[in-house]
Amino acid sequence: MLTLAEKILFAIATLASLYFTYLGVMKIIGHISSGQGKVDWSLVPKRIGELIVKVGLFQPVFRFRPGPSILHALIGWGFISFLLINLADLIYAYSGFKLLEHLGIFGDAYRLLADVANVAIIVGIVAMMIRRFILRPKVLFVRETTLLNPAARAGIMRDSAIVAGFIFLHNSMRFLGESFSLALANYVDPWQPSISAVSKFFVGANPTALTVGMHLSFWLSIGAVVAFLPYFPYSKHIHLFFAPINFALKPERKSIGQLSYIDLDDQSIEQFGAATMKDLGWEQILDSYACIMCLRCQEVCPAYNTGKILSPAALEINKRYHLNHGGTTDVAMTELIPEEAVWACTSCGACVDICPVGNEPMRDILDIRRNLTMMESNFPKQLETAFKGMERNMNPWNVSQADRMKWADGMNVPTIEQNAEPEILWWVGCAPATDVRAQKTAQAFAKILNAAGVNYAVLGKNESCTGDSARRAGREDIFFGLATQNVEILNEVAPKRIVTTCPHCLHTIKNEYPAFGGNYQVIHHTQLINELVGAGKIQLAVDSEQYKVTFHDPCYLGRHNKEVDAPRDALKSTGVLTIEMPRNSAKSFCCGAGGAQMWKEEEEGSGRVNEARFAEAKATGADTVAVGCPFCLTMMTDAAKGDGGTIQVKDVAEIVAEKMK
């Protein structure tokens, strides 16, 4: 198809394009390589199946924004098809041989695929352009009060325009070129229905004009690819390669909230957390290139939703734009995200969970906290009370260990000294043991266990805080001491199973204590309640007149540990009518207490996280908000009191205990 001169010119242009693309790619590799840790290539074979689903079917994309997700899929599936189609077109341009088109039914299927993919991409990209540049929904922009690299303010729109323009030009010109080809042959191809329909408009046109049109279409289609390639490493389109790499090589974690182990017995450690970008893991630097700048993480962030200056998307975008504009990984992290934003994070994990390309901005933030607290003693002063409590009395409430069992006064709650070989070790937790309101949860759960005849015990005065709040606030030293002590005690007890009344305790013991040598089977108290109901060990009196309950999923139960059914099943067993909030299960909105927020004031914003969540619960018309976490219990109770106290807030265990015969 191409003339000799065109072939030579195209080859030269391609080589030049590939050279400059190579320079851009090598710069990216250098930046990523400057991060901490090493790539574990052995993960790839184990993740092939998951990779096919996530990349081939765009499964993570469809978890949010269904309309735009369908449009994205049209473009994405079309792009995957065009990897083969463009290769075939290039071979034809140089040799005149139409690859795959002379293989009978397979050739017919190929031409149909090319036709459908071509139309799908054009429709998808036009719709996306209308959405971004004409409709301009707020979810696609970052507030002015949030720190965003100045180049990114205009650059994001410019990048979107360049990428969208390239995709439209490439695919529309390919479509026209094929139409010219069919018109020149005066042929209607039933396996290319769309292209054939358009070709009818050109039938009878001057053959020379059609031939010139075919050549021009090639240069504007395949030539657009050649022209775009050097820009590709600097565009958001680079996520096409880095998203699969993210899914394939991201370090293994037991949960999205599991943090990396730091051995504080190692005296050679000189740096804690991330002071600069190069202190992050290599995969955290890669995140900035995988980011598609869709701002989904920002849309689900409880801090951003309540007017705080934190935007997890802005953090990733700032990393990318800093590096793309000549910056190095020596940049201080607080130049990429303000300290105020760092301390606004609730560590709810919503940003990590919803990201369609596997990014983990929450992890960056917690690494920055490690550096601020451990290296600079720079943290909100309200946290000092909780830190001192955990250091002196093994709990953030600063209640004496001698009073750890006062909540059980008058109740038959055996300690491990009284029952040395229990079937269940109940890890009560600091809040249920020391907080007046949360103690009612512990008392209700004890009634359930006793009524069911469960062989259980508690650690009593030997139980300490798991260290969750210390770790989320960056105080690895406090966490290390508590974790080491708790694992030593637990290993001595050797529990068959551990049940917790706090998702934060569950998460820490289950997912983070294994790094300290503590491997246990850990379940949430709602899971055990379901077991007991299913085994017929507790009988519940179901009222004829139902009252309505809405369940608020704790972030560290539903999102971090993927348990969403147990609390709902427990509630349903009592006969209450359960009503779901719009944001529920793994997509639940945070109560505002996680990430050590329980012990400090919220950063300034347009509202409070717990009040925003309570308003959502109230809108369901429920009589009671059910919770499965003592932190959520406190936050929802405070919000309910502020609203006049017309709606009750109770732990699932309290509701079940009330219904026991």
Tell me, what's the pLDDT at 267?
Answer: 85
Q: Which residues make Cβ contacts (< 8 Å) with residue 367, sequence separation at least 6?
A: 273, 274, 279, 280, 284
Tell me, what's the pLDDT at 104?
Answer: 84
Task: Give 489's pLDDT tier (boundaries 50, 70, 90).
Answer: very high
Nearest partner of 283 among 237, 256, 245, 319, judged by Cα: 245
Q: Domain segments of the chain: what residues? A: 4-29+43-141+152-248, 260-376, 383-533, 539-659
Highest mean pLDDT among 182-186, 189-193, 625-629: 625-629
Contact between 501 and 653 (Cβ < 8 Å):
yes
Tell me, what's the pLDDT at 101?
Answer: 73
Contact between 82 and 119 (Cβ < 8 Å):
no
Contact between 505 and 468 (Cβ < 8 Å):
yes
What is the per-residue burial (b if ≥16 Cβ within 10 Å, else e) of 519-529?
Answer: ebebbbbbbbb
Task: Give 448's pLDDT tier (boundaries 50, 70, 90).
Answer: very high
Count the Cβ atoms, other than its own, within 10 Å of residue 541: 10
Lowest mean pLDDT among 135-149, 538-552, 626-640: 538-552
Each residue's pLDDT tens digit, 58-101: 999 999 999 999 999 999 999 999 999 999 999 988 998 887 77
Nearest partner of 115 among 126, 107, 104, 127, judged by Cα: 107
Q: What is the assigned CATH class of domain 383-533? A: alpha beta
Mean local confidence (pLDDT), 132-156: 95
The DSSP string of 453-499 is T--EEE-GGG-----HHHHHTT-HHHHHHHHHHHHHHHHHH--S-EE
The residues facing 456 across adjacent strands are: 424
Lookup: tokens for 37: 């840790």
Contact between 327 and 30 (Cβ < 8 Å):
no
Taking the model in full, what pTM does it have?
Answer: 0.94
Each residue's pLDDT tens digit, 516-550: 999 999 999 999 999 999 999 999 987 767 789 99
Residue 407 carries which DSSP code? G
Tell me, what's the pLDDT at 98?
Answer: 81
CA distances from 447 to 82, 277, 440, 443, 649 (A): 64, 51, 11, 6, 19
Each residue's pLDDT tens digit, 574-623: 999 999 999 999 999 999 999 999 999 999 999 999 999 999 999 999 99
Q: What is the CATH number of domain 260-376?
A: 1.10.1060.10
Tell me, what's the pLDDT at 291?
Answer: 97
Nearest partner of 155 among 236, 226, 90, 210, judged by Cα: 236
Judged against a pLDDT cut of 80, whether residue 288 lies above it is answered with yes
For the CA atoms of 131, 136, 137, 143, what is the dihedral angle to 10 degrees?
A: 140
Contact between 552 and 635 (Cβ < 8 Å):
no
Each residue's pLDDT tens digit, 593-607: 999 999 999 999 999
Identity of the residue numbered 635: M
Task: Give 330's pLDDT tier (boundaries 50, 70, 90).
Answer: very high
Task: Give 156's pLDDT tier (boundaries 50, 70, 90).
Answer: very high
Q: Do domains 383-533 and 539-659 have the same CATH topology?
A: yes
Mean local confidence (pLDDT), 416-442: 97
Tell me, what's the pLDDT at 544?
Answer: 62
User: What span, in angstroms and rounded, lies between the C-alpha atoms of 231 and 24?
Assistant: 8
Each residue's pLDDT tens digit, 92-101: 889 988 877 7
Contact between 639 and 341 (Cβ < 8 Å):
no
Tell me, what's the pLDDT at 547?
Answer: 86
Domain 539-659, what fold?
A: Rossmann fold (3.40.50)
Q: How many angstroms from the chain centroid is the CA of residue 160?
A: 23
Mean local confidence (pLDDT), 157-167: 96
Judged against a pLDDT cut of 80, whether residue 344 lies above it is answered with yes
Could you give the 3-state DSSP secondary structure of residue 396? coil
Mean pLDDT of the chain: 95
Could you give the 3-state DSSP secondary structure of residue 458? strand
Tell me, what's the pLDDT at 1?
Answer: 76
